[in-house]
Chain A
């Protein structure tokens, strides 16, 4: 026993991975708590992901705007982050953070169906919540679900089917339905927006879609959920969710340039054409890996003359900030270019050629083709799209 005690001391004395770097998945309620405490999550300021009640909302406050926008007291808001997806303006939220968890897998989300007393076909059992069987802190918890409609026996009480164990019975008929992105343990989070104002994509003001609160049964216990619809992700035959890169522009010293991110359409180094689902929602972007990229100092960011961000010190020396030609600044669609980075910023004054003459870094293949300094992070996001191409993402 003494030798065991000595061994325990030896183990304790060994260099272990610091708690802040350990594999973990932060769900929305974890992120909100961290933001309220001013903590970091996977090395990121939690306040950049969730705006607690009474805090200023990132992207809707200086340096991006002249005045601060404040999250209403008593609510926690998922910060709407502007981005580019396949050269289109997009917006996403970080609903979960995955540190050192390398893969996400499609999990079943059982929906109860039953043949009514009037006869076939089977219909969804009213007023019943779906059933799932994996929770955080499992590394295999996943917000990416495959809906499976299971037909329970006629006359059976739905209350007997609140545990997935009862629903995997091969004798119960089942069909696969749509995929779904829904996070568990959402707490009371909503999309970040000032009181009385609908959430929007920052920089452009485009409307965005809000998630839908719901509930599920997990082994007989009720759990809240927050649904983001059927879009945003794809998966392989083995159920592995396809991860895309999320490129974030930084300075050489690692500081964020506070510009919209670029979401990929395929795995890193393998961009694919953007696929839209049956609802019209893009099927990329919702499971992303953070990759920091350093643009060349010769590149420039498109910012109109009155954009508050022009004065941000973090841009100084890292990017060119030329003033766009007045004719370009007066374009009705100018908001769609605010914050976009081009390798040849001289195009901002090319009235005849704009925007086609610009070599934009606004899509995966452009960022990867520019051979930028790329710094992959051991951090992944559940990053559901809430806006795309100027519109709310269809649910």
Chain B
């Protein structure tokens, strides 16, 4: 795999030039990132269409999954990390082939490629935004299509990935209230949910806990402290399910009738050429993969970003605790399973990126990056699994509308989980419009 990647990166080096934190045509300016995607109002026409197409080629080792042949412990997904062999920015894995063994819904979505290298249309995404002139209102819709092989035939999933209305009632203050389906407010990795916004390709090992698209209401308030070159923001939400991805907790509706509260308190410090961004996040409320409002989930997280010249460092830690359900079943975005077990996990990632100072018309940017992920988690009565991952990759940007990325994921089973060949080489070409 290295033999494939290294020449590619070397070839890209001469023309490297790209901000470490990518900005897409539709993304928010970096200094107000805590809200995630919040399209600008005043500088855009009232009606706007944008989007991107993410086409990739990926190959995973082994059978493309983390499952070990011959391991008959059940549920099979409690003894491995099925999320490890991710191939795209959605966190879809190469395979979920557990050999016909019973699984209990601790699963990502999959492209179903197994261990074969394959081209993929990871996503075709269209954004629609309406911002009536002179009104403090914005309506935003992001529709996505995901062509996949489902094991029995081809199908294309259509998602309403985001759909919200936003009101900014005060012209004198940075206050907005959104209702609908939007990015999570927990942590910082949601800022890179979309392929065209993500520096690399695949999400971290803890992204499953923080990068969902909840439905509900959220409020952002941000105020500047010019004398301190600082800003403080609070982003809070009350939503159906919290911040986990849809495959773990369904986002479409509340199964308990009680919303989940989540919030992030952020601090930003900006000097010339240097930025520091810190945040602390919390989440509390009923698990939305069961129906008892007294069965809760709790998450705590801290995050930090430092930008110094061409270097950037992102880091995030999250701690998750979920009570056991009091009754079956366990509904998730991928199906209805037996019963939700008590669960604990914690993990972190640290990502270092370097952007070369190249700003050509054709080669408009380039970066190298590396990330280390570590996660420990497990269900009641089954082993705590300690896994880690090294990710290395690079990207170039052409004409400011085409991103070419390639990365390698070295997945490791450090303790608790059986060793398995599930490293991944993946590429992505993101065409934005």
Contacts and interface: CB of A to CB of B under 8 A. Distances in A.
A10 interface: yes
Most chain B Cβ neighbours within 10 Å, of A3, A136, A146? A3
Contacts of A107: 72-74
B286 interface: yes
A4 B292 CA distance: 19
Given A174-B70, A239-B72, A16 B324 contact: no
Given A16-B294, A17-B326, A238-B100, A137 B380 contact: yes
Interface string A134-164: 1111111100001010000000000000001
B338 A103 contact: yes
Contacts of B294: 11-12, 14-17
Contacts of B158: none
A7 B238 contact: yes
A16 B382 contact: no
A22 interface: yes
A103 B329 CA distance: 11
B210 to A, nearest CB: 17
5 contacts: A1-B263, A16-B294, A17-B326, A165-B416, A170-B68
B32 interface: no
Contacts of A23: 324-328, 339
A30 to B, nearest CB: 14
B261 interface: yes
Interface residues of B, number: 51
A136 B418 contact: no
Most chain B Cβ neighbours within 10 Å, of A107, A148, A165, A219? A165
A178 to B, nearest CB: 15
A11 B382 contact: no
Interface in A1-36: 1, 3-4, 7-8, 10-12, 14-17, 21-23
A387 B102 CA distance: 33
Given A11-B293, A23-B339, A168-B71, 13 more contacts: A3-B236, A3-B263, A11-B258, A11-B294, A11-B296, A17-B292, A21-B326, A22-B327, A100-B328, A105-B75, A135-B382, A168-B68, A170-B68
A169 interface: yes
A137 B238 CA distance: 32
Interface string B41-54: 00000000000000
Interface string B394-419: 00000000000000000000001111
B295 interface: yes
A106 B72 CA distance: 9
Interface of B is mostly: loop
B25 interface: no
Q: Which 4 A-B pairs have the closest CB atoms?
A: A16-B294, A138-B381, A7-B261, A14-B293
Contacts of B104: 140
Contacts of B236: 3
Contacts of B257: 14
Interface in B325-382: 325-329, 338-339, 341-342, 379-382
Contacts of A141: 381
Interface of A: 1, 3-4, 7-8, 10-12, 14-17, 21-23, 100-103, 105-108, 133-141, 146, 148, 164-165, 168-170, 174, 219, 237-240, 378
Contacts of A240: 102
A169 B418 contact: yes
A102 to B, nearest CB: 5
A100 to B, nearest CB: 5
A15 B293 contact: yes
Interface string B245-256: 000000000001
Contact of A138 (B102, B256, B327, B380): B380
A169 to B, nearest CB: 7
Contacts of B417: 165
Most chain B Cβ neighbours within 10 Å, of A4, A21, A107, A168? A168
Given A17-B294, A100-B326, A219-B383, A138 B341 contact: yes
A225 to B, nearest CB: 15
A313 B164 CA distance: 67
A7 B259 contact: yes
B171 to A, nearest CB: 25
A138 B285 contact: no
Contacts of B341: 138-140
B69 interface: yes
Contact of B382 (A3, A4, A134, A148): A134
Contacts of A219: 383
B284 interface: yes
Given A100-B327, A168-B73, A16 B338 contact: no
A136 B292 CA distance: 21
Contact of B72 (A7, A12, A14, A148): A148
A341 B69 CA distance: 51
Contacts of B379: 138
B338 A134 contact: no
Contacts of B325: 23
Contacts of A237: 100
B187 interface: no
Nearest to B338: A103
Interface in B297-341: 324-329, 338-339, 341
Nearest to A238: B102
